Amino acid sequence: MVMFRGLKASKKAQADLYEIKSAEDLLNSGNNLPLIEAIKSLLIKPSGWLDYYFPVINKFSEFVQSIPLNQEISFLERGLERSKRTLILCLEYFFPGQKNFSTISDMDALWIYAAFTAALFLDIGKLFVKYSITVYHKEIYPLKIWEPYKGSMLGQGYYYEVDYIKENLDDLKNLTTHIFARQILDSANITLEKKGFNWIASDLNVLKAWLNLLSGQENRIPMTSFMSMVPRAEIDMIENSRINAQIVATDPSGEAFLQWLRKELTDGKIFINEKDAKISISDGKIFISTALFQEFANANPNYKHPEVIEKQFIDIAKLYQISISELDQRYRVFGGLSGLGDLNKRYRAVGGISTAQENQKNSPQRILQGDIRLISLITSNTSIQKIINIDSSLNPSKNFNLPNLNS
């Protein structure tokens, strides 16, 4: 996968290299320090912070160093930011009115720790499939290619150079993420019993949710689970980044449709999982009738073409790393979706293709399908409560309380 050619090349310019740093140096630089302080303020108990979280954050920072995730942010900052947001969302959605986690039960503490570490480690599989990292001597000559499955770069050299692998190995990302996650947890030298991975694995439901999330199986995460806050945190981060960057919308009708849909759901004008509803949710998947794009066009004369609105909405979703599939038109669903009660009986899905027909007297409507990320993108406080009520009988990990979120 990685070519070793070029390791005996002449010295590199120091400006092209990153310095290999200790956790202390990494966490006290840039935006990392305020993120650490924010996380610490939520966990509050010094013993909990030291025993559960800080060793893992240290080892994570040494593992990912300052490697850029993209042009805007590093793996380290992204992991810390997502973890912080996950903690905040867990607190606001499941413990409304509390300022920190100082009074939660042992079982809730386990779920919070699992969600936090999943949020921290969510991207690390990319290091194996998209990056080639060369470690350099202090005198700026190459030593070797870093092999992440053998541990961090700390102690292996003085500098490192980042290059990218052209071969598409994305399938490996989800297969390796949980391996690196456990590797980092085990390297954290947490000596107390049931800390780190052993603590997560002490409850099979927690372990299953943790592995599903890190393996890219987000559709298997119940909306009642603390773990469902991780993809929601990711959506929040991307949205805030878009707002802060003040990027001019290149898909104005798609953006307008998203805001309209959120408001209609919040105001209770669009229903989920009711008879003739145009949105249904089942088994971690959401089904949206394309009739909604026509409804939006009818209500907003500035946007006249439903097919353009639909395309631009899908383009918006891609910015949030959301995949939307279209159920095969050979098996069109006629009319609206008519509720969740017998959805699985009417919709036998194989590879994302619906094989059902109903209400054949009505005009045909196509169906768009997404997962928990699409649910997170379009829902607001009120509509989330409706979704949680549906999922709560399936695999509840905590009674869901409706928060008053303004962000």
Percent of the chain with pLDDT over 70: 75
Q: Which two tokens stand for residue 85?
A: 């947001």
Q: Give the pLDDT confidence of 115-158 residue by residue, as tens digits.
A: 999 999 999 999 888 999 999 999 999 999 999 999 999 999 99
In sequence order, the β-bridge partners of residue 364 are 334
Residue type, 207: L
DSSP for residue 9: S
Query: Collapsing DSSP states into helix, strand and coil, what is residue 354?
Result: coil
Q: What is the mean pLDDT of residues 11-19?
A: 75
Q: Give the pLDDT confidence of 84-117 residue by residue, as tens digits.
A: 999 999 998 888 888 888 888 889 989 999 999 9
Question: DSSP secondary structure string, 259-323?
Answer: HHHHHHHHTTSS-BSSTT-SEEEETTEEEEETHHHHHHHHH-TT---HHHHHHHHHHHHHHTT--
pTM: 0.79
Q: Which two tokens stand for residue 56?
A: 């893992």
| Low-confidence winner among 175-179, 372-376, 403-407 (lowest mean pLDDT) | 403-407
Has residue 244 got a pLDDT over 80? Answer: no
pLDDT at position 219: 78
pLDDT at position 194: 58
Query: Collapsing DSSP states into helix, strand and coil, what is residue 358?
Result: coil
pLDDT at position 313: 92
**Where do the CATH 1.10.3210.40 domains begin and end in the chain?**
14-216
Categorize the per-residue pLDDT at 45 as very low, low, confident or very high, splitting at 50, 70 and 90. low
Q: What is the mean pLDDT of residues 309-316?
A: 91
pLDDT at position 266: 85
Has residue 387 got a pLDDT over 70? Answer: no
In whole angstroms, what is the distance from residue 276 CA to residue 74 CA? 45
Q: Give the pLDDT confidence of 359-379 residue by residue, as tens digits.
A: 333 445 689 988 888 888 888
Query: What mean pLDDT is reported for the chain?
Result: 79
Q: What is the mean pLDDT of residues 392-401?
A: 45
- Where is pLDDT greater, at 334 or 8? 8
Percent of the chain with pLDDT over 90: 37
H/E segment holding residue 334: strand 333-334
Has residue 81 got a pLDDT over 80? Answer: yes
In whole angstroms, what is the distance from residue 136 CA to residue 20 CA? 9
Q: 153 with 65: CB under 8 angstroms?
A: yes
Query: Collapsing DSSP states into helix, strand and coil, what is residue 348?
Result: coil
Q: Give the pLDDT confidence of 328-359 residue by residue, as tens digits.
A: 443 334 334 443 333 333 333 323 323 333 33
Q: Give the pLDDT confidence of 261-304 residue by residue, as tens digits.
A: 999 888 888 888 888 888 888 877 889 999 999 999 999 988 88
Q: What residues contact 151, with CB distance under 8 A and at least 6 apart? A: 63, 183, 187
Q: 134 with 161: CB under 8 angstroms?
A: yes
- Of 233, 220, 228, the residue nearest 79 (C-alpha): 233
Has residue 76 got a pLDDT over 90? Answer: yes
Q: 292 with 265: CB under 8 angstroms?
A: no
Question: DSSP secondary structure string, 91-152?
Answer: HHHHSTT-SSSTT--HHHHHHHHHHHHHHHHTTTHHHHHHEEEEEE-TTS-EEEE--GGG--
pLDDT at position 403: 39
Tokens 């989920």 appear where? 272
Has residue 12 got a pLDDT over 70? Answer: no
Q: Kindly tell me the sign of the dihedral angle through the C-alpha atoms of 345, 346, 349, 350.
A: positive
Greatest Cα pair distance in the chain: 77
Q: Give the pLDDT confidence of 198-222 residue by residue, as tens digits.
A: 889 999 999 999 999 999 888 788 7
pLDDT at position 249: 61
Q: 19 with 159: CB under 8 angstroms?
A: yes
pLDDT at position 260: 93
In whole angstroms, what is the distance from residue 278 CA to residue 270 CA? 8
Residue 387, Cβ neighbours under 10 Å: how many? 23
Q: 251 with 316: CB under 8 angstroms?
A: yes
Q: 340 with 281: CB under 8 angstroms?
A: yes
- Arch. (CATH architecture) of 14-216: Orthogonal Bundle (1.10)
Tokens 């998209």 appear where? 130
Distances from the Cα of 183 to the Cα of 96, 124, 150, 180, 346, angstroms: 34, 11, 9, 5, 44
Q: Which two tokens stand for residue 385?
A: 């409560």
Q: Kindly tell me the sign of the dihedral angle through the C-alpha atoms of 100, 104, 107, 108.
A: negative
